[in-house]
Chain A
Amino acid sequence: MRHYEVTFIVDPVLSGDEVKSTAEHIQNELRQAGAELVAVDELGLRQLAYPINKRSSGIYYCIEFKCESAAWLGKFELNMTRNERLLRYLTVKLDKYGVKYNDDKRNGRIGKRKVETTSGTSEEGGDLAPAVVNLDA
């Protein structure tokens, strides 16, 4: 089984339903080609680092899938290119570390350190606040 990941940017001018249907359409296309979807991640509306097709923002989607044979990928990418609702797309083959990284990320095992530090600081803040209150009292 090979793991792949396709990230694409949907035109932000479209309505919410149209954006969803575009993403659905791509997912259906993948399923029909015989791919097994591992995860669909909606990264949401983001500011682009530079304008593409005169748009300064876009809705990011990331789909991870696995399949035995990827002979159809060329055709799939051609369809992506022809899809006028998309600003950009990128298909990437994941190595075993990439698969593990994505899995860990989904289960919240990555970025935990960050979360811990932020929660830690907030807890410290929480601890500090009553201390201050006590001092005042």
Chain B
Amino acid sequence: MAASREDVKFLSNPKIGLRRKKYCRFRKFGIKYIDYKDAEFLLQFINEQGKILPRRITGNSLKYQRRMATAVKRARHLAMLPFVGDLLK
């Protein structure tokens, strides 16, 4: 017997092409203040060269992306994060 179309549909995992939805972690976990002295935390939002990652990638809401960017810039001023880096991670 040839398999009907409905059987064939589940031969491949239907979730395979789906991306998990990004979310703003500050909103989700209720973080109201971003500490510029916590370099380890801010390291999550910069790439290997020390550049601030765009909202497109971090998934932050505009408000917290702005605050995070300010915090990173403050941390850079205080030499807690580098302005330019190589292989930070």
Contacts and interface: CB of A to CB of B under 8 A. Distances in A.
Interface of A: 7, 9, 43, 46, 48-50, 52, 58, 60, 62, 87-88, 90, 92, 95, 97-98, 100-101, 105
Nearest to A87: B79
Nearest to A52: B79
* Residue in A58, A100, A101 whose Cβ sees the most chain B Cβ within 10 Å: A101
Given A49-B79, A50-B82, A88-B77, A43 B33 contact: no
B83 interface: yes
Given A9-B79, A49-B81, A50-B83, A92 B32 contact: no
Given A88-B77, A90-B74, A90-B77, A49 B37 contact: no
B45 interface: no
A50 B32 contact: no
A101 B37 CA distance: 12
Contacts of B36: 92
B82 A49 contact: yes
A101 B74 CA distance: 17
A49 B79 CA distance: 5
27 contacts: A7-B37, A7-B78, A9-B78, A9-B79, A43-B37, A46-B80, A49-B39, A49-B76, A49-B79, A49-B82, A49-B85, A50-B82, A52-B79, A58-B79, A60-B78, A87-B79, A88-B77, A88-B78, A90-B77, A92-B74, A95-B33, A97-B32, A100-B32, A101-B32, A101-B33, A101-B35, A105-B35
B1 to A, nearest CB: 54
A92 B78 CA distance: 12
A25 B39 CA distance: 28
Nearest to A8: B78
A118 to B, nearest CB: 14
Contacts of A88: 77-79
Interface in B37-89: 37, 39, 74, 76-83, 85
Nearest to B85: A49
Contacts of B79: 9, 48-50, 52, 58, 87-88
